[in-house]
Amino acid sequence: MDYAFFPGCIAKNVYPGIEKATRIVFEKMNVGLHDYPYSCCPPPGVVACYDKDTWYALGARNLALSEPDNRDIMTICAGCYGTLHNVWHELQHNDAKRAYVNEHLGRIGMTYKGTSRPIHFVDLLDGMRDTITQNKEVDLDLRVAVHYGCHYLKPTTVTGENSESPMLLDEIVGLVGCKSIPFKDRLTCCGAGGGVMSGEPELSLKIMERKLKNIKKADVDCIVNICSFCHMNFDQSQKKLESFDIPVLHLNQLLGLAFGVKHKHLGLHMNLVSTRDLVKKVKGAKKGRDEE
Amino acid sequence: MDKTMDDIIREGNAYACIQCGRCTGSCPSGRECGLRTRKIIHMARVGIDVFKTEELWDCTTCFTCQERCPKEVKITDIIIELRNLAVKNSYYPSMADVPKIIIQNLYRTGNGQPLSPEVSKLRSIIGLDKEPNDIAKDKEALADFQKLLDGLPLMRWGGI
Amino acid sequence: MKIGVYVCHCGVNISNTVDVQKVISEVSALPTVAVCRDYQYMCSDPGQEMIAKDIRELGLDRVVVAACSPRMHEPTFRGAVEAAGMNPYCFEMANIREQCSWVHEDKEQATRKAADLVKSSVARAALLEPLNSTEVPVTHAALVIGGGIAGIQTALDIANSGYPVYLVEKDPSIGGHMAQFDKTFPTLDCAACILTPKMVDVARHPNIELLTYSEVESIEGSVGNFHVRIRKKPRYVNVSLCTGCGSCATACRLVGRIPSEFDMGLGKRGAIYVPFPQAVPLRYTIDPEKCLMLKHGKCGTSPKCVDACDRDAIDFSMTEEILEVDVGAIVVATGYKEFDPTIKREYKYGTFKNVMTGLELERIFAPSGPTGGKALINGKVPKKIVFVSCVGSRDKRIGNPYCSRVCCMYIAKQAHLLKEKIPDADITVMYTDMRAFGKGYEEFYERVQKEGIKYRRGNAAEVYEEDGVLHVRAEDTLMGEPYELEADLVVLGTGLEPSDAADAIGHMLHLSRSADKFFLEAHPKLRPVDTVIDGVFLAGAAQGPKDIPDTVAQASGAASHVVNLLSKDVILAEPIVAEVNTDVCAGCRICEILCPYDAHAFDEERNVMTINKAICKGCGSCAAACPSGAIAMNHFRDSQIVAQILEVI
Amino acid sequence: MAETWNPKIVGFLCNWCCYAGADMAGTSRMKYPPNIRIIRVMCSSRINAEMVIKAFQMGADAVFIGGCHPGDCHYVDGNYRTQKRIAVLRRLLEHLGIDPRRLRLEWVSAAEGEKFAQTMDEFAKEVAELGPSPLAALQREVL
Ligand SMILES: Cc1cc2nc3c(=O)[nH]c(=O)nc-3n(C[C@H](O)[C@H](O)[C@H](O)COP(=O)(O)OP(=O)(O)OC[C@H]3O[C@@H](n4cnc5c(N)ncnc54)[C@H](O)[C@@H]3O)c2cc1C
Ligand SMILES: Cc1cc2nc3c(=O)[nH]c(=O)nc-3n(C[C@H](O)[C@H](O)[C@H](O)COP(=O)(O)OP(=O)(O)OC[C@H]3O[C@@H](n4cnc5c(N)ncnc54)[C@H](O)[C@@H]3O)c2cc1C
Ligand code: SF4
Ligand code: SF4
Ligand code: SF4
Ligand code: SF4
Ligand code: SF4
Ligand code: SF4
Ligand code: SF4
Ligand code: SF4
């Protein structure tokens, strides 16, 4: 299997541990990831909210890059996925928009065909459950709070997901020995999207605070997300709020731990909220296994 | 392809709204601020210039309301369109200013969130290339990208 | 050939879009047209008289009326020309309203089209041939499908007029949904008190043959003469021996182990059961899916039910029976099913036990229900109760855009009943709009509010649970404030959908469905109990969501249509049938296999095909296929159709 | 031709479903372009190749046939036969140099006024794009 790899700007330029973890984990699972001169998705909360047509055109440029190689595009962020998948979906149906986009891409000698599909990596993992189990070296035995991310699930008319009671992520963390702990309002937004985190940080923080309170009540070892943007919000907000210290892991970092990768290679130490205790706990688990 | 209020109401099914309030009840943002999703839709369909209201910018575009609307009002899509309309009419409140920086970054580096020297160092510590293998590195691609952006409406409306 | 053409204005419905004078002047020029007039309302008495007068005075031999759809007024005008002495099949109609003036805006083009349509009708009229209807005898009996309050009322009304009725109900007892209720809005009569006597009347009525636990297998024939096959499922209890004493049920090895359908799964029954104590017929039935004897051939050392039955009524060797009956008319009263709210996941029905549907709560009120009528929800008396309206109705997302019409009122009823049983309960109704449009309904709504039920406008967005307590989230849309309520019971005001079991019936009878998937009536205002299939009528919620008063009114309406039909000894069968010209027929037998009714019979001796007029329904399929052109499809002959084609191009 | 060309569509509609659906479009006052001229038949299976070809020969730009949805045919399965016949007929039309898209078969129920109006809209547009039927042009020349 081969994919064009769309890391997105947060995983590249803010939390590179996520990019690294993804590369390691997918290499272990024998999935080839290929780089392209991608721009950022562009961000739905900013570009789409300012001018949707620009959003379509820039999104289409990214989508078109791997078309000559016939590669689908793997994203590791719900925001990137939201942009690329929505753009792809719209251009699939809307001929006028497609013509518009191609008119502009034509100016730089590109065309958009729609032959490369964006895929969220969790959907990819869904079909690789056996591979995950085969690569598992450590049974993590953690209590985790999973966070799906709005734009991975919704709008369902585009994503085709079940937005009210999804189980996929819960099942995947289960494969590496983690227990997904239910908590109140587990599916609500983290508060980052729509330009709110940058435009109205206080509002964003309030939404996040409520969310963190609910997670804290569930008494978990860490938060697991499938979106670099949510990841950044969870990690940075806890520092701002000061009253929380729940480690935040992107699913690929969690998988990395389970695959026996050293936490430093996964960039866990770069999080603002310390992951030290968590890493200790996992090491303990590994030791326990080794001694068996 | 500029849309009028009328287009937005029609394409988003806003006329069908029965004011059930399921949208506001679902809204994670409205719980913390003055955003009343139902009211936005109502104002739109009765012809009030709702794009002028600041609450429009409180939405996190989480799509929960749109998912639950029994009348298939494309609420979040409408909110995004209304924001577009606001921008086109230079009607964005101060909170919409910060994203401008993001747009500037986007133009300059191809990324809304550009690479900082600190993170570049961190990248090499964990064994990644100092600079990501993306548009920021590929000068030719970046020039094309800027050319593309130059001809797109964002640059007109974004006020940059 | 003298053709009279009459163009109707239909008030202004036609003349607003179609230039009637222009059509007249074009049509008048046709050589076959003897007279061409227009009139405000052709279907009115003076309009019809105008035609009759021309037939008598000008000796017209064909008449064309350009007006509304022939599906509306063809019978009216056929009657009018016949009364004036003309063969009714020499009449032709051009549809310039439904298919022209109402659907087009450009006056010039609509006028052009109307003129084309009228000319095409004139061309066709010139080639029409007088036809004579044949008389067919009417079987003086009726079939009613579905034994809810609709079917019960229809069957009783027909039977009381003296005609035999077969009432077929798929379940072991009649009564339908109404039997599940304790009280009914808005008067709060006890449902059993008003329903049970009717059920007993049905069972005792000499003119009613009650066929419970039975399903219709097939229906053939047409108005006046339907041939129906009914499958009686085996009850494994001999109903003529069983006295309904219930000794078997208490003895059954599985007693109290099987969720009772009638109690919405809240109560339990055994493998041998009656759905409810007032069941009609009060005869026991063994559930073949559950009974140990029927499933495994063994129930302990000996079946306890058999041991308990003094009357030796239990008979495991019973098999299904097919009953064949002939009837002249059919009433479809298959009712509704409750919307399954599992797909509205945000309400967590199926996840949290204290989220219930309306129908489930009905069983809680019933003295014969799972709690003996006590307001106990999962063993506890609820104190904080939230009702949610419009669940599964007015909801395009799940494909039910319609209002279910009864939930606003049953919510009011249930809120009242809960308040009566739990006076200190805090009850809130979250609603979108309050629809209380029936007689006494608004008054009932006010009464319930006076009793302290809080109505808060704005519907529930979602339900969640925290520390074992349910919370309902909503916006009070009048205040414009989101809020949350704690609840120990959430009742979903689930809407109505057509019964699944109605699908097969619909196909057998070729009934159309409206967009809401309920059966389509012949006309939404003027023929709400007829279907487009002659001799087939609708009653109750099968036609659309409705409450009991409307159901009963429609049921009586359907019965009167049936009686009207059965009171005739003969009806006229349309002579629109296919005929073989045996001089031309080459004997290839291609037509034979095409006929869905086996109307063809091959004459071996003469090597030609013949068609039985009484069987042919006039689809014209065989005529279209005959390579020799030997089959004439009366009233839709090749020449007639081709003449129309020539005129419209 | 001096006047602007307007596609001419001949419609054959079965009495029970499609014709009733067309009536429903009218009762609901839905608007569609006035190109179609409807001829009512009892069942869509009454239509044979001769009638369709006749329509094209006489100058129709397109032919529309409307019947009941599968399973809903008033005459049990007339619509299946129609479907089969139309498939054969399409090939025949191609042979005659008529774009088979000019012959459209659609199932419309008595309740589907909206579908009927929409179909008319679409079909009129499609035929307009296809331009005048070559046979119709021939017919005009002869006249
Ligand atoms: C929770 C709830 C509360 C309500 N409370 C009230 C109230 O208080 N007052 C009021 O006026 N209305 C009330 N209604 C509405 C009321 O239930 C209906 O008006 C009424 O039941 C309709 O009667 P029906 O005979 O048409 O249908 P049904 O009651 O559904 O009866 C149909 C019958 O046909 C049978 N059947 C179905 N298909 C077949 C088949 N193929 N062959 C043989 N048999 C078949 C079924 O088994 C059933 O017995 C309430 C509805 C609900 C959901
Ligand atoms: C403004 C308005 C608009 C409406 N629009 C619609 C609509 O679009 N669709 C719809 O479905 N419904 C509509 N309705 C409702 C509709 O009018 C009624 O459903 C319908 O007219 C009732 O018919 P009826 O025969 O019972 O009563 P009526 O139409 O009132 O007929 C009663 C007849 O009895 C006669 N009469 C009365 N007393 C006596 C007596 N003592 N002796 C002899 N004759 C007597 C009267 O003169 C009258 O002719 C509308 C109602 C209103 C007020
Ligand atoms: S959920 Fe939909 S119908 Fe209800 S108030 Fe909101 S927009 Fe209107
Ligand atoms: S999309 Fe916006 S308005 Fe809708 S629920 Fe989410 S935050 Fe609220
Ligand atoms: S014990 Fe016998 S008679 Fe009594 S109810 Fe059962 S089957 Fe009927
Ligand atoms: S055979 Fe056994 S299981 Fe079946 S009804 Fe009798 S006692 Fe019950
Ligand atoms: S009757 Fe009331 S609760 Fe039921 S669908 Fe209509 S408005 Fe909603
Ligand atoms: S009184 Fe008339 S207007 Fe008012 S709610 Fe009833 S039907 Fe509607
Ligand atoms: S298809 Fe025509 S020729 Fe052949 S048997 Fe039938 S009627 Fe005779
Ligand atoms: S017209 Fe139809 S029903 Fe009549 S004989 Fe021919 S195929 Fe049979």
Q: What is the dihedral of CA C351, C356, C358, C361, to 10 degrees?
A: 150
- Please determine, for residue A96, whether its predicted confidence score (pLDDT) is greater than 50: yes
User: Does the distance separating the beta carbons of C458 and B68 come in below 8 Å?
Assistant: no
The pLDDT score that the predictor gives to residue B95 is 61
User: Does the distance separating the beta carbons of B26 and C473 come in below 8 Å?
Assistant: yes
Residues in C closer than 8 angstroms to A162, CB to CB, are 345
Residues in A closer than 8 angstroms to C345, CB to CB, are 162, 164-165
CB nearest to A184's CB, from C346, C351, C464: C464
Query: For A223-232, C204-213, C501-510, which range has the lowest pLDDT when averaged over its residues?
Result: C501-510
C397 C-alpha vs ligand 2 centroid, how far in Å? 37
| C308-322 average pLDDT score | 97
Mutation for D interface: C619, C622, C635, most D CBs within 10 A: C619
Q: Alpha-carbon distance A65 to B82, whole Å?
A: 31
Give residues with Cβ within 8 angstroms of C289, minimum separation 6. C295
Q: What is the pLDDT of residues A155-172, one digit of tens each?
A: 999 998 899 999 999 999
Per the structure block, which two tokens stand in for C109? Answer: 């083009």
Q: Which residues of A18-55 are buried (b: 16+ CB within 10 A; e: fewer)?
A: bbbbbbbbbebbebebebbbbbbbbbbbbbbbbbbbbb
Ligand nearest to the CA of C608: 9
CB nearest to D43's CB, from C105, C520, C619: C619
Q: Is D38 on the interface with C (CB under 8 A)?
A: yes
Overall domain count for chain D: 1
Q: Is A219 on the interface with C (CB under 8 A)?
A: no
- Which residue type sits at C17? T
C525 C-alpha vs ligand 2 centroid, how far in Å? 13
CATH number 3.40.50.11810 is the correct assignment for the domain at A137-291: yes
- Which residue type sits at A253? Q
Would you say the C-alpha torsion C124, C125, C130, C132 has a positive or negative sign? positive
Mutation for A interface: C346, C347, C355, most A CBs within 10 A: C346
| B87-112 average pLDDT score | 82
Give residues with Cβ within 8 angstroms of A291, minimum separation 6. none
- Which residue type sits at A185? D
Q: Alpha-carbon distance A203 to B92, whole Å?
A: 17
Pairing label, strands C321-327, C225-232? antiparallel
Residue C575 half-sphere exposure, CB side, CA atoms within 13 Å? 15
Q: What is the dihedral of CA C391, C395, C397, C400, to 10 degrees?
A: 100
| C210-238 average pLDDT score | 96
Chains A/D: 3 or more C-beta pairs closer than 8 A?
no
The pLDDT score that the predictor gives to residue A292 is 46
The full length of chain C comes to 649
Mutation for C interface: D12, D24, D46, most C CBs within 10 A: D46
C435 C-alpha vs ligand 8 centroid, how far in Å? 8
A179-180 sheet: strands from edge to edge: A179-180, A143-147, A222-225, A248-250
Whole-angstrom distance between the N-terminal and C-terminal Cα of chain A? 35
Give the burial class of C373: count Cβ atoms within 10 A of its Cβ; 0-12 exposed, 13-18 middle, 19 or more buried: middle
CATH 1.10.1060.10-classified regions of chain B: 1-92
| C392-415 average pLDDT score | 97
CATH number 3.90.1150 is the correct assignment for the domain at C3-125: no
Q: Alpha-carbon distance A29 to A27, whole Å?
A: 5
Atom of ligand 5 nearest to the CA of C312: 2
Domain range holding D135? Answer: 9-142
Residues in D closer than 8 angstroms to C633, CB to CB, are 46
The pLDDT score that the predictor gives to residue D2 is 43
Q: Is C458 on the interface with B (CB under 8 A)?
A: yes
Q: What is the pLDDT of residues C104-126, one digit of tens each?
A: 999 999 999 999 999 999 999 99
Fold of A2-121: Glutathione S-transferase Yfyf (Class Pi); Chain A, domain 2 (1.20.1050)
Average pLDDT, chain A: 95
CATH class, domain C576-633, is alpha beta
Residues in C closer than 8 angstroms to B30, CB to CB, are 475, 482
CATH 3.50.50.60-classified regions of chain C: 134-232+321-335+499-569, 337-497
Collapsed DSSP state (helix, strand, coil) of residue C310: coil
Q: Is residue D4 part of a domain?
A: no
C523 band by pLDDT with thresholds 50, 70 and 90: confident
Can you give the CATH number for the domain in which D111 is found? 3.40.50
Q: What is the pLDDT of residues C189-220, one digit of tens each?
A: 999 999 999 999 999 999 999 999 999 999 98
Q: What is the pLDDT of residues A36-71, one digit of tens each?
A: 999 999 988 889 998 999 999 999 999 999 999 999
Q: Alpha-carbon distance C21 to B19, whole Å?
A: 49
Give the residue from A71, A67, A202 showing the smallest Cα distance to A124: A71
Q: What is the dihedral of CA D57, D58, D60, D66, to 10 degrees?
A: -80
Query: For A30-44, C250-264, C306-320, D129-143, which range has the lowest pLDDT when averaged over its residues?
Result: D129-143
Note down pLDDT in tens along chain D; length 143 residues.
446 789 999 999 999 999 999 999 999 999 999 999 999 999 999 999 999 999 999 999 999 999 999 878 888 889 999 999 999 999 999 998 999 999 999 999 999 999 999 999 999 999 999 999 988 877 767 65
| B18-40 average pLDDT score | 97
B10 band by pLDDT with thresholds 50, 70 and 90: very high
Cis preceding-peptide flag for C186 (omega within 30 of 0): yes
Residues in C closer than 8 angstroms to B20, CB to CB, are 390, 432, 458-459, 477
Instruction: Give the residue whose CA is nearest to atom 6 of ligand 4.
Output: B62
- CATH number corresponding to C337-497: 3.50.50.60
Quickly list DSSP for C583-626.
Answer: TT-----HHHHH-TT--EEEETTTTEEEE-TTT-----HHHHH-
Q: Is residue D59 part of a domain?
A: yes
The pLDDT score that the predictor gives to residue A288 is 66
CATH number 3.50.50.60 is the correct assignment for the domain at C134-232+321-335+499-569: yes
- The H or E element spanning position A213 is helix A201-217
Inter-residue contact A42 to A83 (CB < 8 Å): yes
Q: Alpha-carbon distance D119 to D99, whole Å?
A: 18
The pLDDT score that the predictor gives to residue D74 is 85
Q: Is residue D22 part of a domain?
A: yes
User: Does the distance separating the beta carbons of C507 and D73 come in below 8 Å?
Assistant: no
Average pLDDT, chain C: 96
Inter-residue contact A53 to A98 (CB < 8 Å): no
- CATH number corresponding to B1-92: 1.10.1060.10
